[in-house]
Chains A and B, each alone.
Chain A
Amino acid sequence: MLSRRLLSVSSLSRLSSVLLLSVAVTNVSAPAFAQGATCAGPITIGLTTPTTGNLALLGIQAKNGVEFAVEEMNKAGGIAGQQINLLAEDTGASSTDALNAMNRIIEQKPLVVFGSMISPHVFTQTPNVAKAEIPFLVAATNAKVTQQNVPWLLRIHAHDGQLADLIPRYLVNDLKKKAPGIIAVADDYGLGASKGIQETLAGLNVKAVAVTSYAPSDKDMTAQLLQIKDAGADSIILFGRPADVAVVMKQMDELGITLTLIGNSSTVAQTTLANLSAQAANGAYAIGGMIPQTSTDPKVLDWASRVMARYKVPADNFTVAYYDAMQLLKQTIEKVGCDKTAIRNSLQATKDWKGMLISYVADARGDLAHTLGIYKNDGKTPKLVGTIKEPGF
């Protein structure tokens, strides 16, 4: 009886040993499971971005960045041995169309989706992407985008909250200007930044002598520029998209306004400079996402020339951000496999991941980019003055 009981105890202990061993084996084999080997079939990646309408110049940069990376990866064997199937949809310029485009992509069950840099489009898409529980990588510039408490959303580009903080600081502390005028495009990007810039200036005990804006389709900003000049400004902070920033800079030159100009990366973007004379472009400063043309790294310059050869459009800060994001995604999938939650968690834990021009660090909100470039135009050639980091990074 006793021996039988002892036997049964020993059987139990053997059974528990086997169970413990199997648990241990499962745990040991978990990393092997997470090597990406379990990604079945082609890996579907979604992308919604404006490729038609007045935002197409921006949207095409996002598409070029992702597409270029995907083409390179597919040629090299894909991700974890699987080819990548990129689904790209045009959002046009309307939030409603952006929602339709995203819904269409979600139905095709992508592993990850990229949103655009247009914040209203991302705002309207976010609830549906979050409901579908898909990692959502965006470059939307409105600071509030990552304040929605949506764990599936991560931002891969600098936002206007950072710019609104760093541009006035650089202008006041480094360029020693004390009476700036502000001119911004009256859209989600420009007005949000203008408000933030005024708040930062107030914190530096500086008041903007004039605050103006213009509609995205305006072609005559001379009244706003003269208002700033007549108000006694010693500098101008300009926030806009490449197309309208080129008009403002051209009209500043025509009016003979030689005040120090500082703006977002549109001031030094290739699409802006292509429409300006060397005199109109010369001396303008910009703080923004990193642009590849100013790099001295031969690899980066080679990449930029290959992008130019492929698309006949010079790569900009958004092309770099989306290309980097796709590379980060590749490494993530190869590390954790094709589980969406695991991908999201891994992206949220990103720390000092080296991209083409900057290192990416995920913060608690899901912002990955915290390093920006300071540029100055030498004629029509932008030069990198230095980099500037968001406080705390």
Chain B
Amino acid sequence: MKTKALILGLCACGIAIIPSLLGEGYLIQVLNLAILNAIVVLGLNFVTGFTGQINFGQAAFFGLGAYATGIATLAGAPWLAALFLSGLVAAIASLALGVPTLRLRSYYLAMTTIGFGEIVRLVLIHWEEVTGGTSGLRAIPPISAFGFRVESQMASYYVLVFALALAILFALRIRNSSFGRAMIATRDSEVAAELSGVNTIRVKVLALMIGAIYAGLAGCFFASTIHYISPDSFTNRQAVLLLTMLIIGGTGSIWGAVAGAIGLTMLPEAFRFLDQWYLVLYGSAVIAVISFAPGGLASAIPNVVTRLKAAR
């Protein structure tokens, strides 16, 4: 117990001093983007990891949340209202997508979510009066609540770490609830789950909605931290990247989702010194993880620990 508390304390201290080590600038902004991706991927984990449904629409929900905040705050709405609105818009969009489509399975559902992502992207591009079109929205106000304005990237880091901590805690609570078990039962066998009394359609729709709310809220933080949004940040390419982060981290693992998102956001930046070759190394690293640890980093680490113990 004491050891656990000590480890937690050390982790908290480490997280707290990171900004002072990195300073305001490039690295802290990359870290902030990694944290935002972690929240989005945690959301994706509900529908893909726990419930077993392939979802390429997560980037679109992320974008809807970002645009809801951008439009609302530029119109003068308080930031907290924009935060609420971002979650709401993403939730409504997920219901609109989920209710008619989650009766579909496997590849059909994947194709539907790809189509949804493309529709959102096209709306963002063509509804220029509202979204700014391909030029996007500029000068989005920063996070501002309870009399505090979070202007710098260092200050944003602490807010985002807090948001990520809440997102992890909420995910842990849900996974250990009866709804969490229903999601996992649906993933393992829809027929068996239905025979056990689980309304699998309802479970899938709810999982998609929770995941979309995560993405929508992360979108709000993204818009308020980066201060500029354009459709090219929420494409299907980004959706594939988010799914890759989850697979690399370990589908169904909360800590794996966080590790995958942070790892795959930081890795390309770490390889930048290789110029254009960084994509080769990045791709190789992804292939290596998938080949040698099909369950992702979440399964690889316990395996390594077990082997090390056995070797002793």
Contact = CB atoms under 8 A, between A and B. Distances in A.
Interface of A: 51-52, 88-90, 93-97, 99-101, 103-104, 106-107, 119-120, 123-124, 127, 142, 144, 148, 186-189, 191-192, 195, 215
B126 interface: yes
B154 to A, nearest CB: 13
Contacts of A93: 232, 237
Interface residues of B, number: 31
Contact of B25 (A89, A107, A123, A192): A107
A95 B232 contact: yes
Main secondary structure of the interface of A (DSSP, over half): helix
B135 A144 contact: yes
B299 interface: no
Interface string B194-228: 00000000000000000000000000000000111
Interface in B131-146: 133-136, 138-139
Contacts of B233: 94-96
B133 A95 contact: no
B29 interface: yes
Interface string B92-126: 00000000000000000000000000000010011
Given A90-B276, A94-B232, A103-B29, A127 B134 contact: no
Contacts of B229: 95
B255 to A, nearest CB: 24
Given A192-B134, A192-B135, A186 B226 contact: no
B138 A148 contact: yes
9 contacts: A94-B237, A95-B233, A99-B228, A103-B29, A104-B272, A107-B26, A119-B134, A186-B134, A187-B125
A357 B108 CA distance: 55
Contacts of B230: 95, 120, 123-124, 188
B33 interface: yes
A100 B232 contact: no
A3 B58 CA distance: 91
Given A120-B136, A142-B135, A104 B26 contact: yes
A282 to B, nearest CB: 32
Contacts of A95: 136, 228-230, 232-233
A190 to B, nearest CB: 8
Contacts of A104: 26, 269, 272
A100 B138 contact: no
Contacts of B135: 119-120, 123, 142, 144, 188, 192
Listed from nearest, the 5 A-B pairs whose CB atoms lie closest are A188-B134, A103-B26, A120-B230, A124-B228, A104-B26
B32 to A, nearest CB: 11
Given A100-B269, A101-B272, 7 more contacts: A51-B276, A99-B226, A100-B29, A106-B25, A106-B26, A124-B136, A188-B230
B8 interface: no
Contact of A123 (B26, B138, B268, B269): B138
A189 B134 CA distance: 8
Q: Which of A52, A88, A94, A195 has the most CB of B within 10 A?
A: A94
A127 B26 contact: no
A104 B269 CA distance: 9
A95 to B, nearest CB: 5
A361 B269 CA distance: 38
A95 B276 CA distance: 18
